[in-house]
Structure 1
Amino acid sequence: MSRTSNNSVDDKNKKMRIRQFFTTMDDHYVNDIWTKSLKAAIQEIQKKNNSGLSFEELYRNAYTMVLHKHGERLYTGTREVVIEHLVQK
């Protein structure tokens, strides 16, 4: 009888846990963010033509890439764009 009462106490102490649903980003979407938004924006900033850029949107896109484990792609892409710009100068 004591076992039953201990089990019911243990059941009351356990809390239901709802796990977060993680979504993954496909590579096509990551490449679109990089080539159409971030890479082009970095090149415009290097040309000192950044009047039409939304830095909030650029930050959000970069943050999204990092959040979905594509920070390495962001880093290497940024590095390549900067090196390319320095070589051209």
Structure 2
Amino acid sequence: MIRSRVIVSGEVQGVFYRDTCRHEATAQGVRGWVRNLPDGNVEAVFEGNPAAVQRLVEWTRQGPPLAIVDQVLVWEEQPEGLTGFEIRATPWHG
């Protein structure tokens, strides 16, 4: 099992990016979460089989049909043993 964290920038909010990501992750059997960030980016964490996680990371480079992805940053992290895949709330920065 591996874990990847991604930050996706571009026109990625308001285009069903999070919901489509959840659908893609569930179809691949990948666990984790996705959320909008206050700066307009999207952050996601994927855990699971290395091949499936890599497919999800590659999917983030295009996203759903209405998205315009400018950049994807990827970090490898230690798996936490997440279960399921969820859409998380946007973190508040005040």
Question: What's the TM-score once normalised by structure 2's chain length?
Answer: 0.28
Q: Which has the larger radius of gyration?
A: 1
Higher RCO (CA < 8 A, seq sep 6+): 2
In terms of fraction of residues, the more helix-rich structure is 1
In terms of fraction of residues, the more strand-rich structure is 2
Question: What's the TM-score once normalised by structure 1's chain length?
Answer: 0.30
